[in-house]
Amino acid sequence: MFGNKTTITYVIVLFSLNIFFFENSFARTSREVVNDKFENVGLIHNRGKNVCTGTIIKHGVILTAKHCFGSREVGELGASHLSVSFISARYPLTKAFLINGNDIKRIVPDTGNNDIAYMLYEPKATEEKIDLVVSQIQLSVPSKGMPALIIGYPTQTNNPEHLSKIISRNCSFDGVSSEYTQMVLSNQYHGRLYQTSCAGFYGNSGGPVIIRDNLNRLKLIGVVAHTFSVDSFGQILEKRIETDPFGQYIADANVSLLSDAKSLSNVLSLDITKIHNNALLSDELTQLGPLREYRSFDLDSDAFSFFYPQLKKPALDESFETQSVEKIFRRRSEYGDANLNCSSQFNRVKVAFDNIIKKNKLESKFSDENFYVALSCNGLGPDANYSFGVLFLTGEIVNLMDTDGKLTCLISHELSHRLLKHDRIRVGQAQQELDADALATILTVRSGYRKQDCRDFVGETSVFDAHLDGYPSSFERLLNINRMIFP
């Protein structure tokens, strides 16, 4: 009996949405409040601040955007600082329905090149309480001129009493698409995005992008990502910002399509109830990407041949070795005193370095003649890099690595570049970093620490490298480490 009543309500809602969708379809894009509709579209809060929009596509799964979260919000740290509120006809703004942090289990980034992520939560929190008004998926690339609408909570304020669920309609896909590269302030996402003429602003990110299929059914085709009207730091260009009664907006919101999602079907098939809030991203989520097998890896043999069996190992290059010796001599002269000026950081680095060498039996590969650690305390900001036999670190990056495990993984990562001869082979930047992460994880665990220390290292440092072309995103690096299998 109750099932029939729910079905009738659902049909009426869809009918009203169809009218919503196509009324004045040739007018300029417009926005209006829909607080009483789209019950499964919610506002995501991070430590009390309004950040993004998300859509329940299955009880236990909220579809949203990767860039709404920092890299440290993936994995065993849990998500208790997050919450999601929903407003509708039965849940008015003053009594919004809330999924609190205790029910949120995990933030799962899609493994594809897109801006798609999933919040996993306890399904019972919303079952029979939230109607999934719009949850059907459309996996296709929209044609130019295809009508669309976006729904979200463009956050002009953190005061919940001044927030509204806003729909942007009378807009469409305009046929423009482009690769959106990682930038300093938006390092978690990249890939091809598709532009619309829909109006959006901060807070719309992660919100549903909806079309109508050939049977007049409303379908989710993607999530709001950003806009192409940004500067090199990911900030919206002021000259493109317009204003209406609801505040500021920009009328070219772009979309990350669900057709580019690689993990969607796997996430929807997960038994969310079996995922523990405080567990690592491990058994139940390894299906999101292929496992990387390292159980046969023997560090005592040749690491290069294990990682690159298809490549010929570089022969001894006297010119290269001469440059290394010269750079080591020069850096030793430049930074010898600087090392003494930040003795506490240098002592931490030396202890970690010596432990890595000893525990992994690398004495024959690293000596005073062929390797030097240069530490600068001259306020250069967080940095770490290796080239020509010199590992260069700044005091800021050492301080950022506030546990010995993270510092060990940082140093191991740079040593791995040397062991894998990345300065002498042609392997893409992204692959180099992922392989260095993998070898660093092995070195770190053999030095007495945990895989999680390398996950923390990646989470802390990815933002500083996000502006480099070809550098893998923090999500790619985290999942790469998580998929490792080794003794």
**Span 19-56, pLDDT tens digits:** 344 444 445 688 889 999 999 999 999 878 888 999 99
- pLDDT category at 288 given cuts 50, 70, 90 is very low
Q: Between 230 and 263, whose confidence is greater?
A: 263
Q: Between 78 and 108, whose confidence is greater?
A: 108
pLDDT for 329 beyond 50: yes
Buried-state track 408-446, b at ≥16 Cβ within 10 A, e below 16: bbbbbbbbbbbbbbbeeeeeeebebbbbbbbbbbbbbbb
Tell me how far apart the alpha carbons of residues 58 and 136 are, in angstroms, rounded to a whole number: 10
- pLDDT category at 487 given cuts 50, 70, 90 is low
Q: What number is the average pLDDT over the span 301-315?
A: 80
| Cβ atoms 49, 158 nearer than 8 A | yes
Tell me how far apart the alpha carbons of residues 56 and 131 are, in angstroms, rounded to a whole number: 9
pLDDT for 463 beyond 50: no
Tell me how far apart the alpha carbons of residues 104 and 107 are, in angstroms, rounded to a whole number: 8
Residue 333: predicted pLDDT:
61
Beta strands 372-376 and 484-485, pairing class:
unpaired
Residue 23: predicted pLDDT:
43
Which is nearest to 327 in space by CA: 377, 387, 277, 247? Answer: 387
| Cβ atoms 482, 437 nearer than 8 A | no
Indicate the DSSP class of residue 369: T
Residues 6+ apart with CB under 8 A from 15: none
Tell me how far apart the alpha carbons of residues 371 and 325 are, in angstroms, rounded to a whole number: 8
Residue 78: predicted pLDDT:
53
- pLDDT category at 351 given cuts 50, 70, 90 is very high
Q: What is the residue extent of each domain of the chain?
A: 2-279, 292-485
Q: Is the whole-model pTM more than 0.85?
A: no
- pLDDT category at 242 given cuts 50, 70, 90 is confident
- pLDDT category at 322 given cuts 50, 70, 90 is low
Q: What number is the average pLDDT over the span 236-245?
A: 81
**Span 428-457, pLDDT tens digits:** 777 888 889 999 999 999 999 998 899 888
Q: Which range, of 31-45, 176-190, 216-230, 447-461, averages the lowest pLDDT?
A: 176-190
2-279: in CATH 2.40.10.10: yes
Residue 21: predicted pLDDT:
45
Handedness of CA 162, 164, 170, 172 (dihedral sign): positive
Q: What number is the average pLDDT over the span 321-325?
A: 60
Residues 6+ apart with CB under 8 A from 383: 392, 393, 394, 396, 397, 464
pLDDT for 337 beyond 70: no
pLDDT for 283 beyond 50: no
**Span 122-177, pLDDT tens digits:** 999 999 999 999 889 999 999 999 999 999 998 755 555 557 899 998 999 998 88
- Whole-number average pLDDT of the chain: 77
What is the three-class DSSP state of 472?
coil
Enter the tokens of residue 463: 């933002």
- pLDDT category at 70 given cuts 50, 70, 90 is low
Residue 41: predicted pLDDT:
96
**What is the CB-side half-sphere exposure of residue 304 using CA atoms within 13 A?**
18
